């Protein structure tokens, strides 16, 4: 039995070292090569003074070396911190300085940008590529190729426990300061083992890694593949949101398991040619609501594949799941399902009591997947990691901030964010309910509703929508559609029809950017 994430890879390397482990843009590493490279990186980190519990940044676009680096960091007893290569350098430096990185694996061009912004020079700077291209960095970099050619490197003997920190993922903070979610080996392994048991995995599987490494969805791809001795195919960032390119990768690489946000799957569904995607046996999605009309199109495209809806904030990995077998005929959203194994979820009503069937409540999560806390933010951690309000003696449980309703069949339905519930003209409105009504319009492709302050009403609702290819829609038509399904006070006061909605680096709709755009429009008198 594996207790640590890197043991999954080591175990697969022992079974079949020649089996392909990871590939990206035509470059590959088999399990034997991946194990050897990660050993060499681990030994180099240890020799440079990196200690158990230190943080090591992995800052590069997707490539096979990044995966070797991740496993090397884990073997050294450190925690890896994946940094977004597309983020502004100021934000990258903020994150790196916040968690006091001890070392960094990166490329020369990125090193040249961020190293001068670091408060402390890293103990070891490993460059994938020609280190001379980085110029003067204030420290002596080491070439990746020189590190991994050390054939004498063996498994380091670092005493690591399953409760030790494995990685830190930074998410957006409501105050503008990113929060570092601390996750242990046990946190991730509990999720991975549930996936292996429930969804299944064999050495014949080929996983597509669509999510960026700094996004929590990547945990599924990387470690479930290692669990089964399977191959993971890294999808380069430049192709991640081009539907035709994704369809080609699936067909060419014979991908069997896909996991992504619904936005990417919707692009894939529209672009895939008849007869393609035949290799897929399982498609998993998470991260945002998948509108049922769009999900029906996916179901029609790949009727042979299992569909799974996974739910869980970064702070809990995945905590609930729902296997999609039948879609609701009225196009209402599908459930987020039931708790995964070794996990408990429950809803707490506004009065602090357990929410029963049919009652609205905030979802709480208890179990082995719940994070240790936010790096360096004990007060913020204490706001969400709270004593279980329904049991004694109380364990710490995670308050998700998500509103749900328990159905008679035992499945939870997601209603929206607690902080997406607004009041306008005295009425309480859940933005997710308005978005659900918009999603049923046959001419719309994507939609999001934001609220902005209003002097008299408290706030007003503004919908941002995109039309399906070849379909003409008008604001009047969309307004009439929503008004036929919701009370008048829930109909957006303005509907903006645009060519596309802005997305974050993880593929989600960039709601904060739309809020700012809406405020500017209103200030301009629009």
Residue (of 394, 396, 388, 406) closest to 352 by Cα position: 388
CA-to-CA separations, 199 to 6, 202, 269, 315, 334, in angstroms, rounded:
21, 10, 22, 22, 19
Residue (of 164, 161, 170, 212) closest to 81 by Cα position: 170
Residue (of 378, 345, 379) closest to 362 by Cα position: 345
**φ, ψ at 259 (rounded to 5°):** -140, 125
CA-to-CA separations, 184 to 202, 213, 498, in angstroms, rounded:
25, 16, 42
Pairing of strands 385-387, 373-374: unpaired
Mean pLDDT, all residues of the chain: 91
pLDDT of amino acid 422 = 75
The mean pLDDT of 336-342, rounded to a whole number, is 96
Least confident of 100-104, 130-134, 417-421, 456-460: 130-134
Structure tokens at 28: 């590959």
Distance from chain centroid for Cα 226: 19
CA-to-CA separations, 428 to 79, 405, 423, 453, in angstroms, rounded:
43, 17, 4, 14
Q: Tell me the C-alpha distance between 120 and 359, whole Å.
A: 52
β-bridge mates for residue 168, sequence order: 182
pLDDT of amino acid 133 = 58
- Please tell me which of 182-186, 412-416, 446-450, 458-462 the model is most confident about, judged by mean pLDDT: 182-186
Classify the phi-psi angles of 78: left when phi > 0, otherwise alpha if psi is within -120 to 50, otherwise beta: beta
Burial of 500 (0-12, 13-18, 19+ CB in 10 A): exposed
The mean pLDDT of 99-109, rounded to a whole number, is 96
The single residue listed with the structure tokens 């110029």 is: 135
Structure tokens at 279: 């290799």
Burial 147-179 (b: 16+ CB within 10 A, else e): bbeeeebeebebebebebbbbbbbbeeeeeebb
pLDDT band at 130 (very low <50, low <70, confident <90, very high): low
pLDDT of amino acid 305 = 97
Please check whether residue 518 is in contact with residue 452, taking contact to mean a CB–CB distance below 8 angstroms: yes
3-state secondary structure at position 92 = helix
Q: Tell me the C-alpha distance between 77 and 83, whole Å.
A: 19
Using the predicted structure, report yes or no on whether residue 134 has a pLDDT greater than 70.
Answer: no
pLDDT of amino acid 173 = 53
pLDDT band at 525 (very low <50, low <70, confident <90, very high): very low
pLDDT of amino acid 342 = 94
Please check whether residue 229 is in contact with residue 74, taking contact to mean a CB–CB distance below 8 angstroms: no
The mean pLDDT of 121-145, rounded to a whole number, is 81
pLDDT of amino acid 222 = 98
Classify the phi-psi angles of 502: left when phi > 0, otherwise alpha if psi is within -120 to 50, otherwise beta: beta
- Going by C-beta distance under 8 Å and a sequence separation of 6 or more, which residues neighbour residue 355? 346, 347, 348, 349, 361, 405, 406
DSSP assignment of 434-462: HHHHHHT-TTEEEEEEEEEEETTTEEEEE
Please check whether residue 222 is in contact with residue 249, taking contact to mean a CB–CB distance below 8 angstroms: no
The mean pLDDT of 479-496, rounded to a whole number, is 88
Using the predicted structure, report yes or no on whether residue 175 has a pLDDT greater than 60.
Answer: no
Structure tokens at 456: 């008299």
CA-to-CA separations, 312 to 173, 223, 320, 380, 407, in angstroms, rounded:
17, 17, 7, 19, 18
How many CB atoms are closer than 10 A to CB 353?
Answer: 12
Classify the phi-psi angles of 164: left when phi > 0, otherwise alpha if psi is within -120 to 50, otherwise beta: beta
pTM of the predicted structure, to 2 decimals = 0.85
């Amino acid at each position: 039995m594996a207790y640590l994430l890197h043991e999954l890879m080591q175990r697969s390397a022992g079974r079949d070292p020649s089996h392909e482990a990871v590939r990206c843009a035509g470059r590959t590493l088999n399990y034997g090569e991946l194990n050897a490279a990660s050993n060499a990186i681990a030994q180099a980190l240890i020799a440079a003074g990196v200690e158990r519990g230190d943080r090591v940044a992995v800052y590069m676009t997707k490539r096979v070396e990044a995966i070797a680096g991740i496993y090397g960091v884990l073997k050294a007893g450190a925690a890896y911190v994946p940094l977004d290569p597309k983020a502004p350098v100021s934000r990258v430096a903020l994150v790196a300085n916040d968690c006091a990185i001890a070392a960094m694996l990166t490329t020369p061009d990125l090193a040249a940008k961020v190293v001068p912004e670091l408060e402390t020079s890293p103990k070891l700077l490993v460059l994938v590529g020609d280190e001379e291209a980085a110029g003067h960095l204030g420290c002596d970099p080491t070439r990746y190729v020189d590190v991994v050619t050390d054939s004498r490197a063996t498994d380091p003997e670092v005493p690591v426990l399953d409760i030790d920190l494995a990685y830190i993922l930074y998410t957006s903070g409501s105050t503008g300061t990113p929060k570092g979610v601390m996750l242990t080996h046990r946190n991730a392994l509990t999720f991975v083992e549930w996936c292996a048991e429930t969804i299944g995995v064999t050495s014949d599987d080929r996983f597509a890694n669509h999510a960026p490494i700094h996004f929590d969805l990547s945990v599924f791809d990387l470690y479930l593949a290692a669990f089964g001795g399977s191959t993971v195919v890294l999808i380069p960032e430049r192709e991640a949101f081009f539907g035709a390119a994704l369809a080609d990768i699936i067909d060419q690489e014979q991908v069997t398991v896909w996991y992504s946000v619904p936005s990417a799957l919707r692009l894939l569904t529209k672009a895939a040619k008849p007869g393609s995607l035949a290799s897929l046996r399982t498609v998993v999605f998470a991260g945002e609501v998948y509108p049922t009309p769009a999900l029906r199109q996916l179901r029609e495209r790949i009727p042979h594949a299992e569909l799974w809806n996974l739910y869980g904030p970064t702070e809990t990995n995945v905590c609930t799941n729902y296997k999609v077998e039948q879609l609701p005929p009225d196009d209402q959203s599908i459930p987020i399902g039931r708790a995964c194994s070794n996990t408990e979820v429950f809803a707490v009503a506004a009065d602090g009591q357990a929410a029963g069937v049919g009652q609205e409540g905030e979802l709480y999560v208890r179990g082995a997947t719940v994070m240790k806390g936010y790096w360096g933010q004990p007060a913020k951690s204490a706001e969400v990691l709270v004593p279980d309000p329904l049991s004694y003696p109380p364990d710490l449980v995670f308050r998700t901030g998500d509103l749900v309703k328990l159905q008679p069949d035992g499945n939870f339905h997601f209603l929206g964010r607690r902080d997406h519930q607004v009041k306008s003209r005295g009425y309480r409105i859940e933005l997710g309910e308005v978005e659900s009504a918009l999603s049923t319009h046959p001419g719309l492709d994507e939609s999001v509703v934001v609220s902005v302050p209003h002097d008299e009403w408290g706030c007003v609702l503004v919908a941002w929508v995109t039309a399906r290819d070849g379909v003409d829609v008008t604001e009047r038509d969309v307004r009439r559609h929503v008004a036929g399904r919701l009370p008048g006070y829930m109909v957006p006061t303005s509907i903006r029809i645009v060519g596309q909605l802005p997305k974050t680096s993880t593929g989600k709709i960039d709601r904060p950017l739309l809020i700012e755009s809406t405020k500017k429009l209103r200030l301009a008198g629009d």
